[in-house]
Structure 1
């Protein structure tokens, strides 16, 4: 039986229903167009402009207030230390299960936050780029554990976040290809002191054993995208079937050999991938980090956020 992942939160959180959360939007303007939404919507994710207005505009207002407060605090500390002001990007971590819709959430937030005049430069980096190359995972017998904590190059991830947080210019991150299912050799994503960095991935809130620093040590704000296990499984299978009809058809796709499976065969395979890999990772590594997040967005089966939990300061 699946654990009801979003039905109860610790007393450290204030929980909002949709109506109460929607009211916190105040006069935040809607800057997204239907064309923008179509461009940034994730594969198989049903996201409407109404959802943006009700959920993501209040969230953008909250984050804008946090960014401004963080800048004031930095100015106060620089003044106290007699230091020259240093631009330190505000880092937002986004965690959650496979198929929860993290990528869409990250892209929507990036677009909305970049329309605020206080912080127009917003970059987005995913942890996929910090996976070990596929050859390394195969050599270490970890290919079936892709997405688990041990499949990431944690020192490289920490070094990247430390450089970004220090305000270093021209920091770069590795690039991952979902088509090739591997790191892209000799390709890097360059970042030059963004106002905000959104850092999205499965296990960004995890506390690995034996490490002095965690990815979340560099976060100013963190979000966990939550949903019930049966919904996540259904979304995962739907996405797999959609990919089979699209991306898997490309000869360059790592999963090209699945292109001609029948719908029942593809569904059975997707369900096995979910239960043997992704569900285990969710239960063992991802969901236990949920209440380390500052904000939890819980999605219902129709992809609409039905509850928002904000950690009390």
Structure 2
């Protein structure tokens, strides 16, 4: 096992040995349903990489529950269950959503008496009408495009055990917030929050998203590799979702394919790559666990924070 100043650097062949003969708690079909477009993950990946992650999280969750109970005992207060919140960060197209969905399913199987919920910070993007009014539509996904006060208020309500907390719903079909539609969380025991911006430092806020996290993860890969996945996913969407007339990108699916890919490469370079290099990647070393991917979304090594 290699070491850096702040991380244990663990190669995959070392990491898989941490799984003490535990099989994947889901079927091949379930795994296929959880896997995102052009993502790649197998039952072998689950057993070698994700089962040890769940076992590690179990250590942290048990410690968290004990600390909460002891703290309340010290203060002479009744123990109130507060959710354990896990944050998952990383670039667009790196596979954060698949990781989040997979962990949600696996944690639900392990903790049969706990509610495990998941949200994405996409729901806290300002509606397109607001972005257009502020003339920052081309900065969608950048820090200023999110309603941070609302997201922080939401996380505060959830962390403090408030019932029936709502989050806006974002649609990747219309590329906008769905007006009048909400996701409701009713005091989950474990909450997974997935988003490109979850580990970013505050600008003017006194608190920030990461202040609410009990454990954070960053899904990592080389930018050139992520661009390849981004364009592969775009091609799949051109052949499937973008053929819906209501889809934001419908016109590109109906037009010249080379022009469509030229547009996608421009979006990657001007928006997604710039956002990655300026705002997302600099937050990587704030994560408790980094999952590094090579080609075909294969996790080849992990970095676990020492302290």
Report the TM-score, using the length of structure 2 for normalisation: 0.97
State how 1:68-83 maps to structure 2 within 5 Å.
Answer: 68-83=62-77
The answer to whether residue 175 in structure 2 is matched with residue 181 in structure 1 is: yes
The answer to whether residue 102 in structure 2 is matched with residue 115 in structure 1 is: no
**Alpha-carbon displacement from aligned partner over 1:142-187 (angstroms, at most 9, x marks no partner):** 1111110100000000000001111111111111011011111111
| Pairwise CA distance, 1:118 | 6.3
**Alpha-carbon displacement from aligned partner over 1:183-217 (angstroms, at most 9, x marks no partner):** 11111101111111000000100013111111000
Q: Which residue of 1 aligns with 2:187?
A: 193
**RMSD of aligned C-alpha atoms?**
1.3
The answer to whether residue 109 in structure 2 is matched with residue 126 in structure 1 is: no
Q: Which residue of 2 aligns with 1:311?
A: 305
Out of 71, 90, 100, the position equivalent to 2:94 is: 100
Inter-partner Cα distance in structure 1 for 2:121 and 2:9 = 29
Could you tell me which runs of 5 or more consecutive residues in structure 1 were left unpaired when the two chains were aligned. 1-7
Preserved CA contact (<8 Å) 2:39 2:296:
no
Inter-partner Cα distance in structure 1 for 2:3 and 2:219 = 14
Inter-partner Cα distance in structure 2 for 1:64 and 1:28 = 14
Inter-partner Cα distance in structure 2 for 1:306 and 1:11 = 20
Moved over 6 A (4+): none
State how 1:1-313 maps to structure 2 within 5 Å.
Answer: 10-117=4-111, 120-313=114-307
Preserved CA contact (<8 Å) 1:113 1:119:
no
Q: Aligned to 1:144, what secondary structure does the other structure show? A: helix
**Alpha-carbon displacement from aligned partner over 1:218-257 (angstroms, at most 9, x marks no partner):** 0000000000011000000000111111111101101111
Inter-partner Cα distance in structure 2 for 1:15 and 1:118 = 32
